[in-house]
Amino acid sequence: MSDAKRSDLTRGILFTDEYQLTMAQVYYRLGLAEKPALFEHFYRHNPDYGQHQAGYCIFAGLDPLLSWMQEERLDEDELEALRSQKSRSGKPLFDRDFLEYLRRHGSFEGLSLKAIAEGRVVHPYVPLAMIEGPLLQAQLLETILLNRLNFETLIATKASRVREAAGKSTVLDFGIRRAAGEAGNAATRACLIGGADRSSNVGMSHVLGLQAAGTHAHSLVQAFMALGMSELEAFRAFAEVYPDDTVLLVDTVDVLESGIPNAIQVFEELKRKGHQPVGIRLDSGDLAYLSIRAAQMLDKAGFPETAIVLSSELDELVIWQIHTQIRQEAPRYGVDADSLINRLVFGVGTRMVTSWGQPALGGVYKLVAMYDGGSWKPAIKVSESIEKILNPGQKRAWRIYDDRGLASADYLTLAEEDPRTEPTIILRHPTDPGKQRRLKQNQCTFELLHEEVFRGKRLFDPLPLEVLRQRRKADVERLDPGVRRLVNPHEYHVSLSPRLWTLKTQMVEGLNPNRP
């Protein structure tokens, strides 16, 4: 098999776990392959980065998944790869009739998918996606769905926290070089949904309709100096080629004694030629202190609007600390702290695209119901850990807003329930039987969270990036400030209806009457 064909196997339906296929053959052999099933994708915990925690997540990755589901089906190369697998006895692992079945049905055209809109705020235990259709097809979707949705949601959440910390400052994604291979493209997309304004990733920026962001590296200055020239000459060369886009990296030699003075000299030359310099970049040292001194020097030279780009191991806490230090120290140097903060640009790389401190979301894909005998039969998974016990059956998810218009809770009900018709709403904690609260109908408004997005094919064209960004912005603004905190955020309430709680309790007791 050629390398090109081998590469294709890593992007199609065989981008999956072996047990999806072994289970699929069992379903086929027992006549269950086309039995209607209902799976849910959800996660149990918001990211915990160690010193700080997220109070919510941003849902991302849905649009690429829908396109992949619409386009992919098992081809001859993939079937040949399955034919080559052997059991321990040396016999084919997958039978000929099963592979022939996969040839005819190895796609996702039998599935329908309901999901929360991409870009929105999401919370633990609430299904991000509900997948309904033939058991075999739904099972084959698990790995790729988890791979795509978990990763982009994780990165978009980190980017949203960086956005929160940066305030009005511009945020640039500089992370492609530190991302995990081709996942760098997914990471860039997630960063841009989550709050980054632009990215250094040229290809993905173009796909998403943005101008890529970037200046030059230390190597430009180093090359000039190695050839007997100077930092000033390197700056001049860059400015000559890009007179309207000049951002100069000023920390190759000495920031305050060389870099900024040389940059100012080049900026003055640009100004005399009718061009407006864009800014400088700092990539090392005490970024808050150097930003203050840079602003002081640039202001004195007549460049008060010139941007100051900061990079080097930034994340939400470092940005928060930079802002805090600037507010404390800037007045000593005659620099207005607010003006300086507003001109800052943060280039965030490694710690955003790797979700520094929390490398995986831990989202799961669980069977919650099977259709049999004319109705849906709830399914449950019991665990020694109470938080891992499933919320069974067909469900709907609602977002409850309080009289301030802020999101107060996400509420899971059985599919036939409508809390808008109940005078009093009882919210049960999903894992703690002793916790519940009551709301009066006149104290809140409800929003149904899921919409159908796939039924054999995707049901809408890919959405512009700006639509996804606006969803994130609107949802974050409707969170209580305590939930948005970067450190020790308030726990957002996710609750079950009494009927769902009762169903869950009865099913657990039915499986194990002695369980407390």
Nearest to 113 by CA among 144, 138, 136, 135: 138
Phi, psi of 386 (to 5 degrees): -60, -30
Q: What is the pLDDT, as a whole number, of residue 382?
A: 86
102: which residues sit within 8 A by CB, 6+ positions away? Answer: 24, 74, 79, 82
Nearest to 51 by CA among 342, 320, 249: 320
Torsion angle (degrees, nearest 10) of CA 286, 220, 173, 344: 40
DSSP-assigned letters across all residues of 476-495: HHTS-HHHH-SSSPPPPEEE
Residues 131, 454 contacting (CB under 8 angstroms): no
Of the chain, the end-to-end C-alpha distance in Å amounts to 56
CA distance 186 to 204: 9
Residues 392, 501 contacting (CB under 8 angstroms): no
Nearest to 118 by CA among 353, 467, 456, 401: 467
CA angle 61, 63, 67 (to 5 degrees): 120
Neighbours of 435 (CB within 10 A): 12
Tokens of 403: 């009289």
From residue 362, how far is each of 153, 154, 353, 358 by CA, in Å? 11, 9, 17, 10
Residues 344, 162 contacting (CB under 8 angstroms): no
> Alpha helix (H) ranges present in 273-306?
287-300
With b meaning 16 or more CB within 10 Å and e meaning fewer, what string describes 318-353?
bbbebbebbeebbeeeebebeebbebbbbbbbbbbb
Task: Tell me 421's DSSP state.
Answer: G
Q: What is the pLDDT, as a whole number, of residue 384?
A: 78
Tokens of 116: 């929360």
From residue 10, how far is each of 5, 77, 108, 280 by CA, in Å? 9, 11, 18, 42
Per-residue pLDDT of the chain (516 residues; tens, 9 = 90+): 445 444 478 889 999 999 999 999 999 999 999 999 999 999 999 999 999 999 999 999 999 999 999 999 999 999 999 999 999 999 999 999 999 999 999 999 999 999 999 999 999 999 999 999 999 999 999 999 999 999 999 999 999 999 999 999 999 999 999 999 999 999 999 999 999 999 999 999 999 999 999 999 999 999 999 999 999 999 999 999 999 999 999 999 999 999 999 999 999 999 999 999 999 999 999 999 999 999 999 999 999 999 999 999 999 999 999 999 999 999 999 999 999 999 999 999 999 999 999 999 999 999 999 999 999 999 998 887 788 899 999 999 999 999 999 999 999 999 999 999 999 999 999 888 888 999 998 889 999 999 999 999 999 999 999 999 999 999 999 999 999 999 999 999 999 999 999 999 999 988 876 655
Tokens of 428: 């049960």
Whole-prediction pTM value?
0.95
285: which residues sit within 8 A by CB, 6+ positions away? Answer: 251, 255
CA distance 451 to 145: 17
Tokens of 130: 């509900």
Q: Give one word for 372, left, alpha or beta, with left for phi > 0 and alpha for psi -120 to 50.
A: beta
Residues 448, 417 contacting (CB under 8 angstroms): no
CA distance 390 to 23: 21
Nearest to 269 by CA among 294, 235, 297: 235
Instruction: Tell me the β-bridge partners of 409.
Output: 400, 493
Query: Which helix (H) or strand (E) covers residue 232, if one does?
Result: helix 231-241
CA distance 361 to 84: 34
Tokens of 164: 């929160």
Nearest to 285 by CA among 277, 293, 295: 293
Q: Are strands 247-249 and 279-282 parallel, antiparallel or unpaired?
A: parallel
